[in-house]
Every structure is written in C-alpha cells, then in structure tokens.
Amino acid sequence: GSGKLSVEPVTFMNRDRKSFVILVHVGKNLNGHDGIVHGGVQATLFDEITARPAFWNLPRNIGFTATLKINYRRPAVVNQVLVFRTQLINLEGRKAQVVGQLEDIQGNILSDAEALYVSPK
C-alpha cells in the first residue's frame, strides 16, 4: 500500500538462475527509527529475495529457511529504491547456500546476508 511497498519490485535473473538483482522501493511507512527502514523489513526482504536462487535450484523448486544471518552495516533510508543482489554459492542435495547484499542506488553496501535453504524430503 501507500508508503510501504507500493511499487512492484523489478527482478533481473541470470540465465543460470543462480543470481538475481531485485530493485525494491521502500516507502516512508516502513521505518523503525524516523526515516530508517525497519530491520525486520530488511530481514523479511532478505528472506524472500535470497530464496529465489535457492528455490530455482533445489529439488522440486521448494524449500524452507534453515538459517538467515544479516549484518546491518549502514542505515537504509526510507522512500528510495534499494538494490538487492543475491547469489547461490553452494548446492548440495537438498541444501542451498545463498549470499545477498543490499545497496542503495549509489552502490553503498547497507547490509549483507547469508542464508541456508533446505528442500523437504
């Protein structure tokens, strides 16, 4: 809705489906501290976005989050487009390890993440 994620994210995917770049506009109502994107919003976006290369490559294209570790490096300001980059770095059977990075439009790294996804038996 208005002031939240009101613009549909734009997704770019490599042909091998192992890396993605996703542009997300975060509105003014997604703040924790005044003018700063809430850390929980960033975590939710990382969980959804790092899942993309994992699910494309896991058996049956489905899985669940086993771990998600986020390093918050700089404040992410609301009411701007953020750039999420994510890459599958390891695939072993039912486990997919993915890394992700959040940048502002100028290329400053705001946070990064590591995630492990597991496909059900």
Q: What is the CATH number of the domain that holds 38?
A: 3.10.129.10
| Distance from C-alpha of 104 to C-alpha of 84, rounded to nearest angstrom | 9
Place of tokens 């770019």: 12
Q: Are 8 and 1 in contact (CB under 8 A)?
A: no
C-alpha torsion sign, points 54, 59, 62, 64: negative
Residue 20 has pLDDT above 70, yes or no: yes
pLDDT of residue 3: 62
Q: Among residues 71, 77, 65, 76, which one has the least CA distance to residue 118? A: 65
Does residue 5 fall inside a structural domain?
Answer: no
pLDDT of residue 27: 75
Average pLDDT, the chain: 91
Please state the pTM of the whole predicted model: 0.89
Parent domain of 44 = 10-118
Does residue 2 fall inside a structural domain?
Answer: no
Does residue 35 fall inside a structural domain?
Answer: yes
* Number of domains the chain is built from: 1
Does residue 22 fall inside a structural domain?
Answer: yes
Q: Are 24 and 102 in contact (CB under 8 A)?
A: no
pLDDT of residue 4: 66
